[in-house]
Structure 1
Amino acid sequence: MLLATLPFGASANSDHHNSSAQSHKQSHKQPHYDWSDKWSDKHKNKRKRDAVQLGPRPTYLVNDMDAGTLKTALKQCENRSFYKTDFSIGHRGAPLQFPEHTKESYEAAASMGAGIIECDVTFTKDKQLVCRHSQCDLHTTTNILAIPELASKCSAPFTPADAVAGTPATATCCTSDITLQEFKSLCGKMDASNPNGTTPEEYMDGTAAWRTDLYSTCGTVLSHAESIQLIKGLGAKFTPELKSPSVSMPFDGDYSQADYAQQMIDEYKAAGINPKQVWPQSFDFDDVLYWIENEPRFGKQAVFLDETIDDDSLAYMESLKRQGVQIVAPPIWALLTLDSENRIVPSDYAINAKAAGLDIITWSLERAGPLATGGGWYHQTITDAISKDGDTLIVLDVLAKDVGVMGVFSDWPATTTYYANCMNL
């Protein structure tokens, strides 16, 4: 496990998370925990080695909350020291401000206390593993379109927007289009595109207003093996996600899905990484089963990324458990719902996963942009209880205390680190 989880339902409170206009965010009558800093001397001394700097955002979010017990508790932690925690997982690093899956993004995540950092794993033309969220996202996450000799190798070259025809600008550039050496010549940028672009430069210039290009001068892209060494050096642990190939498998006639899944694990073994520090993930259930059956030391912590949520029944959860799955990771919205009084509470998925003995991780906090419009895709089941950025901490509170998740992916790990430290998780 990443850390000791909380007993499910241990902190349930009927006055919890009321979402009326005046009080829906803070109706805790009693705190769930003792918020005083009761670390033993031994515990404190150990944690001093991992002290981190969180910056102003967590305090900004706390101040943005409506008055209530949770806000009071969180404000009491403003001046304490903060430490790395496995509850805080760097989703692609820290991509709220840094180009995802770059050296700079991973370093930022570690500096904000992420105890675990994610590398989404895909492969190049010469079958080398690299960190990219999708096999075919180079046109939005790197400067490949600005390099003619590499842009010409893209699966679908850049096509400018045509205002007369009403067609958007398009391009498709994949890691499997280029070699590792060519991939390493790219600069990482914020994941964005401008559908109205008439030149490659305009197309690549589409960063959302609530993100920033301030730290996107030329992000250092990484091979998977390089990410292992970097994350190890940062004192963090690993959660690599095997991405679904965008090309037909077996690739190049002989590179099978099993080869791909095995290669990812082999790179941790070659680097001498303890399997207890690795949580391999996949949306493809067959990948998870492969690790359970063929690499049981790594498969013990394999994470099934369950996105479709076709079944939230206890029978389904028990079937996963019988097949050796220990950890499920659905999106945030799948774990939360609203009760009859519009309070945020655990969903049937969350209740049944816990009842089946499964541990839960979830994704991804602070990815949806400002919450004033309802929180977007990641909060779709609790839209009526979301109205401001400070509500991020209410969502996190329910996930931690009522659902009992063992870790949370975040685009800005400082927020999750602050909460976890303050609540002594």
Structure 2
Amino acid sequence: MTLRMTLVALMLVTTTPALADGHATVESGLSYGPRPAWLISQMADSDLKTRLQSCAGQIPIRTDFSIGHRGAPLMFPEHTVESNVAAAQMGAGILECDVTFTKDHQLVCRHAQNDLHTTTDILVTGLADTCVTPFSPVSGETPASAECRTSEITLAEFLTLDPKMDAAAGDATTAEAYQGGIAAYRTSLYGAGATIMTHADSIKLFKSLGAKFTPELKAPSVEMPHDGFSQADYAQKLIDEYKAAGVPASDVWAQSFDLSDILYWIENEPEFGAQAVYLDDRYDAEDEDEGLIDPMDATTFKPTMQELADMGVNYIAPPLWMLVTVENGGIVPSVYATEAKAAGLNLIAWSLERSGPLNDGGGWYYQSIKDVTDNDGVTYELVDVLAQDVGVAGIFSDWPATVTYYANCMGL
């Protein structure tokens, strides 16, 4: 079956009729699955646990508070049709395509321009010779490695690749063995036959699923302009594909870590720029002042929250841990979060369900609250603080059912 035939088939299976207000008529077709209930069972006894347990019989409803991070990559290959269908079936109201470009400047969904060696089977295909760094087997203390970029292949070649779970086996001696290395808390059960997507494909699919859009313009791995294709061309092309598909700007939250992209959209596409999301990369806070705005960050200038607001930025999105800290043994909003809210900025958090089991501190995404992160029930304690105390507009998750359940229970 071709890519387009697969997309059409999945759209027919998953599309539900819409009412005049845009809500699907078959919301009962959504499903939380077992994970939310399991997470709640792991929580210490509390009013929050009791409240969440009381919602066990609720019918799932799609919510924009729940954002699919690359779809549902906890169990499905990221940025595939199947991953996003799963996220939509869990009630994610907004879905993500991380956008990069091919050699012929076509936009495709990949987390990075240079991740094909870990997210597809390129190393075991005839396109392996396009990789900028060929596969190198493990040698002593040096792990196996490779680097393959979308910018080295055409769109037609990109569409021949089979996506897989994002992973690589550092101990591999062959390119075939390098295809493994999947984290123990993920799975390869749902990877066979997964369907890779262009950005335009993602727009069609998300529309058919009744979801909205949050594309991220990824930093190029090549020097720009690339064969005459400038950064402005790249940023504009992303927006143009929504306009061509008839998607209203109010349904799109375009993202970038590059503030110049955000400012370009604000200046040149103000309707889309109003909801553009600046992915803030201030990660240096270590103590109770975590998130405090310092106008100088090492060698690069970082605007204050008020300066961002004055530039016309309305949304910012830092990682989970930047928005919270620990005080008197409990999770509370960080200085970063309070400064952002004081400036009138909307906050979006990323990414829940990306750390595996939380019995050992939770890793990178939980670093500011590692001292109180000792079991998976902390997931909902964190979500509750983000929603009720920090006041985030939405939460990215690798398994959106978790956030959907909370939002539905709390009436968000």
- The partner residue of 1:356 within 318, 335, 343 is 343
Report the CA distance between 1:55 and its aligned residue: 0.6
Q: Deviations over 1:162-188 (max 9, x none)?
A: 23xx22111000111111111111111
Instruction: Output the amino acid matched with 2:118.
Output: T
Instruction: Output the amino acid matched with 2:37.
Output: T
Tell me if the contact between 1:239 and 1:280 (Cα under 8 Å) persists in the aligned partners. Answer: yes
Tell me if the contact between 2:82 and 2:195 (Cα under 8 Å) persists in the aligned partners. Answer: yes
C-alpha change, 1:302 and 1:46, in structure 2 (3 Å) is closer
Gaps of 5+ in 1: 1-41
Paired position in structure 2 for 1:212? 187
Instruction: Output the amino acid matched with 1:120.
Output: D
Is residue 2:98 matched to residue 1:98?
Answer: no
Paired position in structure 2 for 1:383? 370
- The partner residue of 1:276 within 244, 247, 250 is 250
Instruction: Output the amino acid matched with 2:38.
Output: Y
**Given the two structures, how large is their TM-score scaled by the length of structure 2?**
0.90
C-alpha change, 1:46 and 1:177, in structure 2 (3 Å) is closer
C-alpha separation between the residues in 1 aligned to 2:258 and 2:53? 41
Report the CA distance between 1:250 and its aligned residue: 0.4
Is residue 2:175 matched to residue 1:200?
Answer: yes
C-alpha separation between the residues in 1 aligned to 2:203 and 2:22? 27
- Structure 1 residues 2-41: aligned runs within 5 Å: none
C-alpha separation between the residues in 1 aligned to 2:159 and 2:188? 21
Instruction: Output the amino acid matched with 1:404.
Output: G
Q: Deviations over 1:94-116 (max 9, x none)?
A: 00000000000010000000000
Q: Which has the higher contact order (CA 8 A, sep 6+)?
A: 1
Paired position in structure 2 for 1:368? 355
Paired position in structure 2 for 1:114? 92
C-alpha separation between the residues in 1 aligned to 2:192 and 2:374? 33
Q: Deviations over 1:73-93 (max 9, x none)?
A: 101111110110000000000
- The partner residue of 1:286 within 260, 282, 289 is 260
Tell me if the contact between 2:114 and 2:149 (Cα under 8 Å) persists in the aligned partners. Answer: yes
Secondary structure at the residue paired with 2:72? coil
C-alpha separation between the residues in 2 aligned to 1:123 and 1:316? 32
C-alpha separation between the residues in 1 aligned to 2:147 and 2:118? 9
- The partner residue of 1:261 within 230, 235, 250 is 235
Instruction: Output the amino acid matched with 1:333.
Output: W
Q: Deviations over 1:215-265 (max 9, x none)?
A: 01132110000000000000000000000001000012x110000000000
Paired position in structure 2 for 1:22? none
Is residue 2:306 matched to residue 1:326?
Answer: no
Is residue 2:148 matched to residue 1:169?
Answer: no
C-alpha change, 1:140 and 1:45, in structure 2 (3 Å) is closer
C-alpha separation between the residues in 2 aligned to 1:353 and 1:169? 42
Instruction: Return structure 1 stretches of 4+ with deviation > 3 angstroms.
Output: 44-49, 309-315
- The partner residue of 1:150 within 127, 133, 150 is 127
Would you say how many aligned residue pairs link Structure 1 and Structure 2? Answer: 379
CA RMSD of aligned residues (A): 1.7
Q: Deviations over 1:277-313 (max 9, x none)?
A: 0000000000000000000010000000002246733
- The partner residue of 1:55 within 15, 18, 33 is 33
C-alpha separation between the residues in 1 aligned to 2:366 and 2:283? 15
Is residue 2:305 matched to residue 1:317?
Answer: yes
Report the CA distance between 1:46 and its aligned residue: 5.4
Gaps of 5+ in 2: 1-18, 285-290, 295-302
Instruction: Output the amino acid matched with 2:312.
Output: G
Report the CA distance between 1:45 and its aligned residue: 12
Paired position in structure 1 for 2:217? 242
Report the CA distance between 1:390 and its aligned residue: 1.2
Question: Quick one: percent identity of the two aligned structures?
Answer: 59
C-alpha separation between the residues in 2 aligned to 1:46 and 1:152? 48
Secondary structure at the residue paired with 2:304? helix
Tell me if the contact between 1:47 and 1:83 (Cα under 8 Å) persists in the aligned partners. Answer: no
C-alpha separation between the residues in 2 aligned to 1:183 and 1:101? 13
Paired position in structure 2 for 1:296? 270
Secondary structure at the residue paired with 1:408? strand
Report the CA distance between 1:143 and its aligned residue: 0.6
C-alpha separation between the residues in 1 aligned to 2:136 and 2:345? 47
Paired position in structure 2 for 1:403? 390
Paired position in structure 2 for 1:24? none
Paired position in structure 1 for 2:156? 181
